[in-house]
Amino acid sequence: MTKKTCFHCGNDCGSKPVVYDSKNFCCNGCKTVYEIFNENDLTCYYDLENAPGKIPEDIKGKYSYLDDEKIVEKLYDFKDGETRVITFYIPHIHCSSCIWILENLNKLNSAISTSQVNFPRKEVRVTFNCKAISLRQVVELLSSIGYEPLISLEDATVSKRKIDRSLIYKIGVAGFAFGNIMLMSVPEYLQAEEFWLDRYKFFFKLIIFVMILPVMFYSATDYFVSAFKGLKHKILNIDVPIVLGMIVLFLRSSYEVFFNVGQGYFDSLAGFVFFLLLGKIFQQQTYSFLSFERDYKSYFPVAVTKINKDRSEKNVAIYDVKKGDRLLIRDKELIPADGILIAGNAEIDYSFVTGESLPVTKKSGDKLFAGGKQLSGAIEMEILQTVSQSYLTQLWSNDVFKREKISGIKSLTDSISKRFTIIVLFIAFLAGLYWYFVDVSMVANVVTAVLIVACPCALALSAPFALGNMLRIFGKRKLYLKNADVIEDLSKVDTIIFDKTGTITNNKAKVFYDGELLIEKEIVAVKSVLRASNHPLSRMLYEEMEDVEVVEVSDFKEFVGKGLEGRVNDINVKIGSAQFLNTKNEEVLQTQSFISINGVIKGKYIFKNSYRKGLNAIFNELKSDYELGILSGDNDGEKQQLKTMLPENATLIFNKKPTDKLNYIKGLQNKGKNVLMIGDGLNDAGALVQSNVGLVVSENINVFSPASDGIVDASKFYKLPKFLKLSKKTLKVVKMSFVVSVLYNLIGMMFAITGNLSPIVAAILMPLSSITIVIFVTLGTNILASER
């Protein structure tokens, strides 16, 4: 049997595909999307890319809050008359087909005038006429074609971030000045004794001087600010010698120009600033589709449905939810605040919070915690705490989230530059002293030349280019770091703390069968019945039975929150909870599904978390260099098993609240440890922020990750030791490049001390040293990365 894959989404269609227009579909949802596209002449969607689609989710009623003008007010980017502009974040955007279909939204609904995709950010900006189509309809249209936008509380509370383009302007100014000043300096380089050139020399210099002003006072402002801040905190950071060099360059060149002594070093100055800014932009490159600043607001809904006393429903903004309110939580909706379950079958998926992938069943009267996702039908709950005071969300009131992480203060470059600055000042002093006795007129000349040549351009460039390049290499290997400084922090780590659930365990549970063995016919029947269900446990079980055939099922019934029933030929299958099958459940703590065939209970499937592949190897590789530890919010049921995997000195801590985790990390840091925290859920958010480096393991990097310094794709988790090694080696490359750049400075110093630093020597030496350093570190890091 050849496997048929869905024309729309590429999933396996099973043995009974839905056929339409002589194409196979895995489900009616996919078929419907195809129909929509087909009717509107948009089937080109499928020509650009193979099976680019996604099964549309059922969103009935989910977006009814978008009809409330007051709630959606803040979501708009722009509004004028009947025109509305809004930007949606759509996680599914992944290929050129996506861009194409989303930019042709106006073909689906003429009330949408334009839509523009920003692919790297996974955003689409839609302009529509609010008289002809409501925001809710726009969202529902997007959802109906499988592009459901993610609208979170953050969109409604945070003012729209402005894109900072100042660095590009600064580079533009510096580059413009650099090129033109070089051009104007050519006569001087050639030392041409030509009459006309000689005559207009001053005119040339004047133009050069005018062009250098914006470079000095606009492009270089960041360095002045940073050096000033450093001095204020009594730190000689790398920007101090840079700024010192720039000021001396500027003053001496101005003196030379206006007193007609020489031509000045303005070309070097402009080039210097230009190269420095290039390094900055290289290092700044980040992953715009990822956010490293997310807190619970990025996941919580904008509004919820409140049930009034008279049973009528009303949409209220999430911050208006008060203690005692009754809320209606629909299927696949998030619980916004702590409360008590009143009615309905609650099956809560807490994977956002704890990383636990198996849903938890709750009975009415049980407590529900904020952050869980309801999986089986609608429930009603009564709120006990407001949104910001819930068990999970109060974590964000901790001070850690308010202060900015101070990084880079003790960075390698700065510690070197401190010594460097002192030595340079010393040399300048000695050289000045020497010339004072030999030739007093040369003193100022030599001292300024020393300071100019010592300006650590190459030194300042090596770290940005080495780290920036490594950042990119890591990105290609699916470790996405917030910025280049994280690599340096990563290399200093000596303690690694892991969260348990979801971090070192898989999101795919292992399934064990306990009970009377099933004969093949029965297994086929069980799998066939499971196929029709979308419940996560059913999906897991279905995927577990890989090589089993699927046949047609009759009389299929799904009892939400309880179980499934179906008939295959003469076999009647029932799968579900103990309650559903009227049997006793001895082990309540386990997640399990019971099976009954023709009314007889045969046994049960037990779901257990399994550890990630290669976890043992990771621990073994890391234990010699790092102190390891486990910090879990769960019970200590797996303590014995973990003990055998971890080295003896490892610490295992269980039953920790989110704030406890944070405090534990703080305690380690007070003992002088550099801690790398590896977590995955919102309950780790505090620990991740507090730690020196917080890494998040994520199964789907686009959909979910708490605030952190870096995100590693779960499939590459086993490479962690290699990543750590690479970051250490990168720092070695940086150190080597420091040696090279100091050599250049020494050569320049020779010219300077002997009083021979002509503008042309400076103009050659400066770019030459910068370019060799850039080539050196780029090659170095690339070679490192290609090493096995």
Partner 1 sequence: MDIIFLMIGVSIVIAVVFFILFIKSVKSGQYDDMYTPSVRMLFEDEFISDKSKVKESKSINQK
SS3 673: coil
204/465 with CB nearer partner 1: 204
Which part of the chain contacts partner 1 (CB under 8 A), choosing from 51-59, 115-123, 303-311, 738-746?
115-123
544 makes contact with partner 1 (CB under 8 A): no
- DSSP character for 612? P
115/505 with CB nearer partner 1: 115
302 makes contact with partner 1 (CB under 8 A): no
Nearest to 435 by CA among 421, 449, 423, 422: 449
121 makes contact with partner 1 (CB under 8 A): yes
Other beta carbons within 10 Å of 457: 28
- Distance from CA of residue 316 to its chain's centroid? 31
Cα(316)–Cα(71) distance, integer angstroms: 8
CB of 10 to partner 1, least distance (A): 20
116/397 with CB nearer partner 1: 116
221 makes contact with partner 1 (CB under 8 A): no
Cα(362)–Cα(376) distance, integer angstroms: 11
Answer for which of 109, 113, 118, 226 binds partner 1 (CB under 8 A) is: 118
Answer for which of 163, 406, 517, 588 binds partner 1 (CB under 8 A) is: 163
Answer for which of 24, 59, 68, 119 binds partner 1 (CB under 8 A) is: 119
Cα(733)–Cα(724) distance, integer angstroms: 15
Answer for which of 4, 15, 48, 603 binds partner 1 (CB under 8 A) is: 48
Nearest to 576 by CA among 589, 588, 558: 558
Per-residue contact string for residues 76-105; x = within reach of partner 1 by CB under 8 A: --------------------x--xx--xx-
Cα(79)–Cα(710) distance, integer angstroms: 36
Task: Please measure the distance between the N-terminal and C-terminal CA atoms of the chain and give it in whole angstroms.
Answer: 41
* C-alpha neighbours within 13 Å on the C-beta side of residue 200: 10
Cα(492)–Cα(501) distance, integer angstroms: 26
CB of 204 to partner 1, least distance (A): 8
SS3 559: strand
Q: How many residues bind partner 1 (CB under 8 A)?
A: 31
21/82 with CB nearer partner 1: 21
**DSSP run (H or E) holding 479:** strand 479-481
25/46 with CB nearer partner 1: 46
106 makes contact with partner 1 (CB under 8 A): no
* Runs of H (alpha helix) within 412-535: 412-438, 443-454, 457-476, 485-492, 520-531
193 makes contact with partner 1 (CB under 8 A): no
CB of 211 to partner 1, least distance (A): 9
CB of 338 to partner 1, least distance (A): 40
Instruction: Output phi, psi for 341, to 5 deg.
Output: -75, 125
Answer for which of 70, 80, 196, 546 binds partner 1 (CB under 8 A) is: 196
Answer for which of 109, 127, 144, 180 binds partner 1 (CB under 8 A) is: 180
Cα(121)–Cα(286) distance, integer angstroms: 11
Could you tell me which residues come within 8 angstroms of residue 725 by beta carbon, excluding any fewer than 6 positions away? none
Which part of the chain contacts partner 1 (CB under 8 A), choosing from 147-155, 177-185, 296-304, 746-754?
177-185
C-beta of residue 373 within 8 angstroms of C-beta of residue 359: no
360 makes contact with partner 1 (CB under 8 A): no
Cα(52)–Cα(11) distance, integer angstroms: 11
CB of 120 to partner 1, least distance (A): 5
Per-residue contact string for residues 129-158; x = within reach of partner 1 by CB under 8 A: ------------------------------
Nearest to 208 by CA among 255, 170, 252, 263: 263
Per-residue contact string for residues 594-633; x = within reach of partner 1 by CB under 8 A: ----------------------------------------
Contacts from 95-102 at CB under 8 Å and sequence distance 24+? Answer: 95/48, 95/49, 95/52, 96/48, 96/49, 97/45, 97/46, 97/48, 97/49, 97/52, 98/52, 98/147, 100/44, 100/45, 100/48, 101/37, 101/42, 101/45, 101/145, 101/147, 102/147
CB of 162 to partner 1, least distance (A): 11
C-beta of residue 98 within 8 angstroms of C-beta of residue 43: no
117 makes contact with partner 1 (CB under 8 A): yes
CB of 121 to partner 1, least distance (A): 7
Please give the torsion angle defined by the CA atoms of residues 558, 150, 388 and 354, in that order, rounded to the nearest 10 degrees. Answer: 60
Per-residue contact string for residues 23-42; x = within reach of partner 1 by CB under 8 A: ------------------x-
701/761 with CB nearer partner 1: 701
Answer for which of 76, 176, 209, 611 binds partner 1 (CB under 8 A) is: 176
97/354 with CB nearer partner 1: 97
175/780 with CB nearer partner 1: 175
168 makes contact with partner 1 (CB under 8 A): yes
Could you tell me which residues come within 8 angstroms of residue 786 by beta carbon, excluding any fewer than 6 positions away? none
Answer for which of 1, 22, 47, 520 binds partner 1 (CB under 8 A) is: 47
Answer for which of 131, 158, 202, 203 binds partner 1 (CB under 8 A) is: 203
Which part of the chain contacts partner 1 (CB under 8 A), choosing from 73-81, 178-186, 362-370, 494-502?
178-186
C-beta of residue 595 within 8 angstroms of C-beta of residue 604: yes
Answer for which of 15, 43, 113, 398 binds partner 1 (CB under 8 A) is: 43
126/762 with CB nearer partner 1: 126
217 makes contact with partner 1 (CB under 8 A): no
Burial of 165: CB neighbours in 10 Å, binned 0-12, 13-18, 19+: exposed
CB of 102 to partner 1, least distance (A): 10
Token pair for 234 = 């009594």
180/778 with CB nearer partner 1: 180
163/440 with CB nearer partner 1: 163
165 makes contact with partner 1 (CB under 8 A): yes
Cα(476)–Cα(617) distance, integer angstroms: 23
**Antiparallel, parallel or unpaired: β 651-653 and 510-515:** unpaired
Cα(779)–Cα(471) distance, integer angstroms: 14
200 makes contact with partner 1 (CB under 8 A): yes
207 makes contact with partner 1 (CB under 8 A): yes
Answer for which of 78, 169, 258, 429 binds partner 1 (CB under 8 A) is: 169
Residue with the two structure tokens 């979801």: 502
Answer for which of 19, 44, 438, 617 binds partner 1 (CB under 8 A) is: 44
207/225 with CB nearer partner 1: 207
165/403 with CB nearer partner 1: 165
45/619 with CB nearer partner 1: 45
Cα(724)–Cα(143) distance, integer angstroms: 41
Number of H helices, E strands in the chain: 24, 28
Which part of the chain contacts partner 1 (CB under 8 A), choosing from 152-160, 200-208, 462-470, 708-716?
200-208
Binding site for partner 1 (CB under 8 A): 41, 43-44, 47-48, 96, 99-100, 103-104, 116-121, 163, 165, 168-169, 172-173, 176, 179-180, 183, 196, 200, 203-204, 207
